[in-house]
Amino acid sequence: MRARAAGNHSDQPGLVTAMQDGHAENVMNGTQVAINSANRQCRKCLIMTGDDFGLNSRVNEAVEQLYQAGILTQASLMVNEAGVDEALRIARRHPGLVVGLHLSLCCGLASKSSFLTDAQGRLSPSPAQAGVWYAFKPALRLALRAEIEAQFAKFAALGLPPVYWDGHTHLHLHPEVLKLTLPVAAAAGFRAVRLVREPGWTMLPVIFRLLSRAAQPKLARYGIRYVDRLFGLRHTGRVTTRVLENWLGGLPEGWSEIYFHPGAEPADFDTEILRELIELEKIGLGTARDLP
């Protein structure tokens, strides 16, 4: 995916950050394009997240292009995949890009071979199968804890600040996974996590809203923050400019997150149209770092 009509973001030429009354504003060619994440008083606050950062060069390039275009505000990193070193270089080139941990416990490489993996060190290719194993095979829990700890440790070793984590296929909300993860994340200094609370009454949003509701008391005990709602679950791999326009045009007040998969969506985004709509709707772009 390449961002069409892409401009430059805050650490690139042509875009400056104006400070007014303690709040930062993104200004491109003299025009404010979005309220910056420092403005926590926005009525409509939005996090735009790119998942699977570090998976491969195509994903990494798309993340960088969409960040430079002023659309994407944070990216979730897979620490065990082939593109992680390139992703780290991109993150260092763009210190304004907030990077979180994309905890991967299925459909990818593990930190090391264990009872969770096949002989090649790959985790289960099925999220459903992995979920059943983690719930009903207590013998796997030591290996599961070790894999979770290893991924958080790898993230720290990359020198990235702890801000937020989420999960590949949202497996981070699995009750057993969450129970094992919370002490590790809190000890590492992470302050936010993705809850999957997408509006709608089809099966998938309902299941994940129930998992998210069950997670909330546990998150409260650790002081972990989250947004009010999320968009992207029912459009995984099918997010287009038109879909984003619909979400942006109907965005409720409060904190929302839109997530998508850079480099894996069906077409390029028209970033100029999207930036104009963000400005028109007076949406404040932010990151998990800014959650109240």
Q: How far apart are CA 60 and CA 90, in angstroms?
A: 8
Is 7 inside any structural domain?
no
76 in Cβ contact with 50 (< 8 Å): yes
Is 10 inside any structural domain?
no
102 in Cβ contact with 76 (< 8 Å): yes
Is 110 inside any structural domain?
yes
What's the alpha-carbon Rg for the chain, to the nearest Å? 18
Is 5 inside any structural domain?
no
What pLDDT digit, counting tens, does each position of 158-211 carry?
A: 999 999 999 999 999 999 999 999 999 999 999 999 999 999 999 999 999 999
Give the number of domains in the chain: 1
What pLDDT digit, counting tens, does each position of 88-113 carry?
A: 999 999 999 999 999 999 999 999 99
Domain that holds residue 198: 15-290
Nearest to 276 by CA among 17, 23, 32, 65: 32
H helices of the chain, where?
57-68, 84-93, 127-136, 141-157, 175-188, 203-222, 241-249, 271-280
What pLDDT digit, counting tens, does each position of 21-51 carry?
A: 333 333 333 223 333 444 457 899 999 999 9
Is beta strand 254-260 parallel, antiparallel or unpaired with respect to 23-28?
A: unpaired
Is 1 inside any structural domain?
no
Is 49 inside any structural domain?
yes
Is 2 inside any structural domain?
no
Domain of 154: which CATH number? Answer: 3.20.20.370
Is 106 inside any structural domain?
yes
Percent of the chain's residues with pLDDT above 90: 86
